[in-house]
A and B are shown apart, each in its own frame.
Chain A
Amino acid sequence: MITLNVNGKNYNVDVTPDTPLLWTLRDNMGMTGTKYGCGISECGACTVHVNGQAKRSCVTPAGSVVGAQITTIEGLSADSSHPVQKAWIELDVPQCGYCQSGMIMATAALLARKPKPTDADIDKTITNICRCGTYQRIRAAIHLAAKNTKS
């Protein structure tokens, strides 16, 4: 049994400490917004925030984030009011949508660190995969979110 702080609440979860955070969130805590795409840190579909930093939860043992503040897509905002979510809605970014939780979490962490990212920053940081190929809109939505974020 370990205790995790997810989206501001403490949860006691019955997993071994080496269980990836991804599967702990999904199967043990019922938070399925965080997705499994590859399991080897290649695709970013499983991105969450750990103490505000983007982390790929498929390769993050649950035991390693005990005591940390974990944020998932479900906790990014209560009502999809985060500037990144709003930009995503405004530009209709998602196609199938499967990669988008990870894209949004990766973007939110980038903007927290770098409120006005350049295209080069985006290229370097947003290494998530979208098989539907929504990259053009993702880039536009990142710039839009940056514009709409009050600094």
Chain B
Amino acid sequence: MTQHMEMNRRQFVVATAAVGGGLALGVGEGVAATANMMAEPWKAPPVVSGAEINAWIVIAPDDTILIRVGQAEMGQGVFTSMPMIVCEELECDWNKVKAEYADANRDAKENNVYKRMGTGGSNSVRSSREYLQQAGASARERLKAAAAAQWNVPVAEIEAKDSKLTHKASGRTLRYGEVAARAALVKLEKEPALKTPDQYTFMGKATVKRVDTPLKVDGSAVFGMDVKLPGLLYGAIKMAPVFGAKLKSFDAAGAKARPGVVDVVELGKEGQSKHTVPTYASHLEAAVVVVANSYWQAKTALDAMNIEWDEGNLGKTSTDEYMKQAIAALNKEGGVGRKDGDAPAALKSASKVHDFTYETPWLEHATMEPFNATAQVRADRVDVWVPTQNPQNARLVASQQAGVKEDQVYVSQTFLGGGFGRRTVGDDVRQAVEVSKAMGGKPVKVVWSREETTRHGTYRNFAAARFQAALGADGMPTAMYIRYAGHSTPIQRQNPPKDNVDIGQLRLLVDSPYQIPNFQIEFTPIQTHIPSGAYRGPAANQNAFKIESFVDELAVAAGKNPLEYRLKMLQGYKDPSAARLLTEVAAKSGFGKKLPKGQGQGIAIGAWPNFTPNDGTFVATVATVDVSQGGEVKVEAVDIAYDMGNVVNFADTTAQWEGATAMGVGSTLYEEITVRNGRVVEGNFDDYRILRIDEMPKVTAYPVLSGGNRWGGVGEPGLVALVPAITNAIYAATGKRIRSLPLKNHDLTWS
């Protein structure tokens, strides 16, 4: 390989130069000495000053390596797993790796150098693995080339390992830090080929501890809520209780007379919102913001304020009413999403039709960190500090609202106190920018109370689905006909979907792996004023419940074991993983063992993002439950067999299965958002109940990996098969079939 030395000033960017926020902030006190990242994760650790090999990698003379992370750290461990991918190819010493967020401003200035910075869809590894491997491999080859030039030997004779370059024949070695500055100038003729999974020595092999843990046990990790700035003001916000209502009047003078209050800002005025896509949550919802010297002063003044809203007809709506509309729609034909054979005709000629309807409610993400964003708007520069899942979107929203170019926006991405899909839309950013503008460019942190956070979500949408089937002489389904009515998925979509079919909402149904000769699925969109959006495992998180409950009912009707029944329905499916996982999880959990009345096991299968053969993540789950005679449900154990092809870090992967299980058990038992008189009833954790430690089942996750080129995600699939595994277990324990959620609405007593 020949190489060219080429001067490029940008390659000498010194990593300690202020990127991201740029404002001088005091480093959080008590930063754990062992942390290899800053409590303010948008900043590079100060020890890393060296040569930038490419936009992702800086190598210091002492071999410290800074790796930039383009995904959001919301608990899933990307600050560990993303650098691991780079490290695999870079052949560097992991103990000297440090991490910081990639800078969304640089991304704007340098032609999208950080590619996809949004985090969602369990896609961090799936969509960035190749280019991160490439960044690492490219850097490694350039380090080798620089060493080869120095020793005047062919590159092929150089070995790179553990941050050292070795020329075997002569026994010479160089440290990465010694050649990094020259490696930064090397231009490769051709990018190196990437390692394939069978060549990995680090990814999927080592169990690596998370780099952010030390910052999360001493209180130093900076979340959006924790941002401190000189002269920072605090805004407490009250949004229209009825989505879409207008502000009629409020008593600003009374609030301004209270201690510490600086001003009162109105949001949602005609023409004030500079959004381009006209949807809820992309615009400024009508709101009053009290700005004060502390949050408590702002909040108490806001609470004391008399605010009147113009609700129009929206104040007459309710979730009950919308659910009734959906159920009524199930009697009519919808837009066709899948059609194999002729299911309606097959049902007509069947002697018996199994016909059940399943309902799922709206859910709130309930991120532990309430919503917030901080902004400072100056003439030529806008700064935003925000716990966002998508800094590129935050940048766009801030630039629109402040009227500056995107490369004038600096997003300092903090740690996220949970995301789950909620922190993707930028409603928080737009508010903070507008309030800072109104305050003459002073820095303002706008904080939503827990109640505002709960009542202004972008909820997991609701749905009702009617399932009909006919069984053949052998008890297996010959026809399945599903009619589905629900809120059309993302908040970005306000108009009815094309041909009235929202395929995204039909996940795991249109792609069902079950082999049924006559299979038809129809969809009817129900428009509501309740905003809905991405929620950990969109659509899959409710559709597995529906189809896996129905299949369980069919197995019972056919007098078959639910495991055997599923395995038979999967015969002929192109990906053997589905059946393998069911068999494995059944064996591990002892599925089918005799249990006393009141105890039971349920089994189910799911996938994320779809059942696409040999792609994504497949999962099979067995839940073991105990239902007391008084009807109290305790999920005792959850066993999971999963196939995501390959795994980067087993430690994080296991943690995701555990955490998603807690979230899913809680939502199955308790969670639902109720709207009455147009507004959300639930407000805080006293009426929106979240699972607690005494209710946590024992979770065991078994990898059954098919390897190859399959890469699945892990953030979401844990919420999929879990829900029907629980409800099927309740049937096994009590004989009561659950066709709507949550369980708290059902009488499960038995004698």
Contact = CB atoms under 8 A, between A and B. Distances in A.
Given A40-B450, A43-B685, A95-B77, 5 more contacts: A31-B219, A39-B449, A124-B694, A129-B368, A135-B692
A132 B418 contact: yes
Given A132-B659, A133-B696, A96 B691 contact: no
Nearest to B218: A80
Consensus secondary structure, chain B interface? loop
B714 to A, nearest CB: 12
B294 A27 contact: yes
B178 interface: no
Nearest to B665: A133
A97 B75 contact: yes
Contacts of A30: 228
Interface in B644-661: 651, 655, 658-661
Interface of B: 28-30, 32-34, 73-77, 209-210, 212-223, 225-226, 228, 234, 259, 294-296, 366-370, 415-420, 449-450, 651, 655, 658-663, 666, 684-686, 690-694, 696, 698-699
Given A27-B234, A92-B209, A138 B217 contact: no
A40 to B, nearest CB: 6
23 contacts: A15-B294, A20-B296, A27-B296, A32-B225, A32-B228, A36-B225, A74-B30, A92-B209, A92-B655, A94-B217, A95-B659, A96-B73, A97-B75, A97-B212, A97-B417, A98-B367, A129-B685, A129-B690, A131-B663, A133-B659, A133-B662, A135-B662, A135-B696
Given A38-B450, A38-B685, A131-B663, A92 B415 contact: no
Interface in A12-62: 15-16, 19-20, 23-24, 26-28, 30-40, 42-43, 45
Nearest to B449: A39
Contacts of A28: 294
Contacts of B216: 94, 97, 100
Contacts of B294: 15, 23, 27-28
A118 B565 CA distance: 42
A93 B210 CA distance: 10
B192 to A, nearest CB: 33
A95 B33 contact: no
A33 B220 contact: yes
Contacts of A94: 75, 210, 212-213, 216-217
Counting from the closest, the 10 A-B pairs by CB-CB distance are A33-B219, A133-B662, A98-B417, A95-B75, A97-B216, A96-B75, A123-B694, A73-B219, A32-B226, A133-B659
Contacts, number: 189
Contacts of A40: 450, 684-686
Nearest to B664: A133
Nearest to B210: A92
A99 interface: yes
Contact of A137 (B655, B685, B694): B655
Interface residues on A, range: 35 or more
A6 interface: no
B368 A37 contact: yes
Contacts of B659: 95, 132-134
A73 B218 contact: yes
Interface in A82-104: 85, 88-89, 92-101, 104
A130 interface: yes
Interface majority SS (helix, strand, loop, mixed), chain A: loop
Contacts of A34: 219
Contact of A133 (B33, B77, B221, B661): B661
Contacts of A88: 213, 217
Nearest to A95: B75
A137 B582 CA distance: 26
A98 B223 contact: yes
A5 B418 CA distance: 32
Contacts of A96: 73-75, 367-369, 415-419
Contacts of A126: 693
Contacts of A79: 32-33
A72 B30 CA distance: 12
A116 interface: no
Nearest to A22: B296
A122 interface: yes
A122 B692 CA distance: 11
B234 A127 contact: no
B95 to A, nearest CB: 16
Contact of A130 (B213, B450, B662, B698): B662
Contacts of A15: 294, 296
A39 B685 CA distance: 10
A130 B369 CA distance: 11
A2 to B, nearest CB: 14
A44 to B, nearest CB: 10
A136 interface: yes
Contacts of A45: 368
Contacts of B209: 89, 92
A38 B684 contact: yes
Contacts of B28: 32
A96 B540 CA distance: 23
Given A42-B685, A88-B217, A122-B693, A95 B655 contact: yes
A77 B701 CA distance: 35
Nearest to A101: B219
A24 to B, nearest CB: 8
Contact of B218 (A39, A85, A132, A135): A85
Contact of B214 (A89, A123, A133): A89
B658 A131 contact: no
Contact of B658 (A19, A123, A133): A133
Contacts of B661: 133
Nearest to A16: B259
Contacts of B698: 136
Given A135-B693, A136-B698, A97 B367 contact: no
Contact of A131 (B222, B259, B366): B366
A5 B394 CA distance: 40
Interface in A114-149: 122-124, 126-139
B120 to A, nearest CB: 15
A45 B693 CA distance: 14
**Of listed B29, B685, B690, residue having the most chain A CB within 10 A:** B685
Contacts of B74: 96
A48 B368 CA distance: 18
B449 A33 contact: no
A138 B655 CA distance: 12
Contacts of B226: 26, 32
B658 A137 contact: yes
A80 B217 contact: yes
A3 to B, nearest CB: 18
A15 B662 CA distance: 39
A61 B74 CA distance: 31
